[in-house]
Structure 1
């Protein structure tokens, strides 16, 4: 897939798109209809590959949900994105891996089902960047709280129509966002919907 240079990129429901950012450039992710989760990845061009790591970010921030002004780290512990704006309720999961074919088979789905893991690979196809193991994304607009006894709760996204988060790139990177196709576990409020990416100066 060719990288989009448009200022505004629409991600159809259940698909993903890639955008190249230079350090200092920004990107806003909008759930125009509300309630749609987006799996967000950031991959650096180079060998060996380097990518945004939700696990390393959790360790750095000591938080489950990121806050405005905080930075996301790569697997080499370098800041790659900074959260600069959030008009949603602020629930952006950093625990759950990208959905993939094995996940849907375990949930009882027969045959092919779109997944964020496949959307990542499709979005990167033709860019010259490839990932072996799919990195754990930051799941924007996804609410997975942890109870006092350690249970994970799978809640519908609380993000209302027009809710947005914005990021500033700290390193040159490819940002991929997948409009999560999860329709078995009810994280997408009202079913799967498109997302919009807006480039920022």
Structure 2
């Protein structure tokens, strides 16, 4: 399948079958892609809280499997050429974060998620914490978190394998008030692999 665009500041949702692989491309480099996977948007989704315990780490590595809130394997990281820096701690940006930053009405990943699910006729009752692909915000030894520009380079990518039939949502994060996206929000792409 050809590359499909994740437009800057918006999200796309796609149905993925068990065993199918999806590659997420950081087309221009330094673009965070908030990522969610839903088995059932009303009841079962990829959970960062459960996945961190399952993986035994906060930054996933190739071979690590994310699990759902029911502790079932849902996505496995099978390839990573991006520098291997991703975030599993930070919540998706939302209207409240931008209000605190003085930017009421700013585009945000939480609204992007729900709009993308809506395009498929689906609704989630909450916003799970996302897998923030390419986000560079590791906790320091003293426990502090500082958001730095991503280390991902243009064209670098990750590949994920679906362990269950699911809906996956990718949001090209619109954050432009912190170093989250380096020079600012830009398009990313994804493709389904044969």
User: Which bin holds the TM-score, normalised by the shorter protein?
Assistant: over 0.9
Task: Confirm or deny that 1:99 pairs with 2:93.
Answer: yes
Task: Confirm or deny that 1:71 pairs with 2:57.
Answer: no
Structure 1 residue aligned with 2:185: 192
SS in 1 for 2:181: coil
Which blocks of at least 5 consecutive residues in structure 1 are unaligned?
Answer: 1-5
User: By how many angstroms is 1:126 displaced?
Assistant: 3.9
Structure 1: distance between partners of 2:5 and 2:140: 35
Task: Confirm or deny that 1:10 pairs with 2:5.
Answer: yes
Per-residue CA deviation, residues 47-85 of structure 1 (Å, 9 max, x unaligned), is x52100011100111111101111000000000001011
Please say if residues 32 and 135 of structure 2, whose CA atoms lie closer than 8 Å, have aligned partners that are also in contact.
yes
User: By how many angstroms is 1:45 displaced?
Assistant: 3.1
Structure 1: distance between partners of 2:2 and 2:133: 20
Q: 1:150 aligns with which of 127, 138, 143?
A: 143
User: By how many angstroms is 1:148 displaced?
Assistant: 1.5
Structure 2 residue aligned with 1:3: none
User: By how many angstroms is 1:87 displaced?
Assistant: 0.3
How is 1:1-201 mapped onto 2 (pairs within 5 angstroms)? 7-45=2-40, 48-110=42-104, 112-201=105-194
Please say if residues 139 and 146 of structure 2, whose CA atoms lie closer than 8 Å, have aligned partners that are also in contact.
yes
Structure 2: distance between partners of 1:188 and 1:108: 19
RMSD, aligned CA: 1.2
User: By how many angstroms is 1:8 displaced?
Assistant: 2.4
User: By how many angstroms is 1:10 displaced?
Assistant: 0.2
TM-score, normalising length: structure 2: 0.97
Structure 1: distance between partners of 2:112 and 2:101: 19
Per-residue CA deviation, residues 138-188 of structure 1 (Å, 9 max, x unaligned), is 000001111111110111111000010010000000000000000111110
**Greater mean alpha carbon deviation, residues 125-134 or residues 68-77:** 125-134
SS in 2 for 1:187: helix
User: By how many angstroms is 1:133 displaced?
Assistant: 1.3
TM-score, normalising length: structure 1: 0.93
Aligned residues: 194
